[in-house]
Amino acid sequence: MSAVAHTTIAASAQSFEVRPFDAPVGAEIIGLDLTQPLGDEDFARVHRAHLDHALLVFRDQRITPEQQIAFSRRFGPLQIHVLKQFLLEGHPEIFIISNIVENGQPIGLGDAGKFWHSDLSYKELPSLGSMLLAQELPEEGGDTLFASQQLAYETLPAELRQVIEGKRAAHSYTARYADEVFAGVRRPTLTEAQLAEVKSVVHPVVRTHPETGRKGLFVNENFTTHILDIPEDESRQILAELYAHSAKPEFIYRHQWQPHDMVFWDNRALIHLATGCPSHLRRRMHRTTIQGDVPF
């Protein structure tokens, strides 16, 4: 089953290289120009690379918001983030992640990703993948870590794997929303309308990738609140063991951002974490988020 939107586009073939990283996941795409329409064959090659590597880094992409949105839409419908005040004006499909404050107001979400998570796991249709485009980078810090949840599942101790077999867990956007994760950064209070958009949902603890069939863990410390149908203390202990295992160094790729990088990762296969940067150094990123399927 494929979640990819089938849009036929005739365009000249581009010469580009898919260069895998020396890491558990990830590859960089060298020589592809996303300011140009991507023909069907080139798109199929990018799609295949994304499934094979779970994360792609498109180097030196000086693209407009329209071009980022158009490329993202090739993979499926886009999701609009609940924090409407941080959507790019005129382009609500783009969510601004930034520590920049202008006229006393933050222009984007300043503490995004400080706990390990899979984007929008708190939605009935969690994200297929996210594309994050570097607009302004700090001189130090700002790295993003990505951990393969498929490798994590495949290396689980047999006893723990048996315990979570067939189990389901609840996910909530507000699970850790009020936690202060970067010093001095407080999130905006959610309105009743926003809270109505992010009601708790239930997903399998282990999900099957809809395009590759590979199994992976699908719980995370940011949004998962508890495992259903077991005592609370037991749920807490199992989740703690899963979280500790899921972020082992041998599953992780660390992305050190370069100017105009665009990273496209698979939220069905990975969790990620922002490492943060000194608060006085400006950082601005533009994210599009592609809708996925109901996890199974």
The answer to whether 269 touches 208, Cβ cutoff 8 Å, is no
Indicate which residue of 45, 207, 255, 272 is catalytic.
272
- Catalytically annotated residue among 45, 81, 111, 119: 119
Q: Which helix (H) or strand (E) holds 88?
A: strand 87-88
Other CB atoms within 10 Å distance of the CB of residue 12: 8
Residue 81 annotated among the catalytic residues of the structure: no
Residues 6+ apart with CB under 8 A from 102: none
Yes or no: say if 94 and 289 are a contact pair by the CB < 8 Å rule: no
Position 260, amino acid: H
Burial 160-187 (b: 16+ CB within 10 A, else e): eeebbeebebbbbbebbeeeebeeebeb
Q: What's at 103, amino acid-wise?
A: N
> Could you say which of 53, 117, 209, 286 is catalytic?
117
Residue 203 bears catalytic tag? no
β-bridge partners, 195: none
In the residue annotation, 286 being an active-site residue is answered as no
Placement of tokens 């581009």 in the chain: 14
Q: Is 171 noted as a catalytic residue in this protein?
A: no
Other CB atoms within 10 A of residue 251 CB: 23
Report the alpha-carbon distance of residue 217 to residue 295 in Å, rounded. Answer: 11
Could you list the active site residues? 117, 119, 272, 287
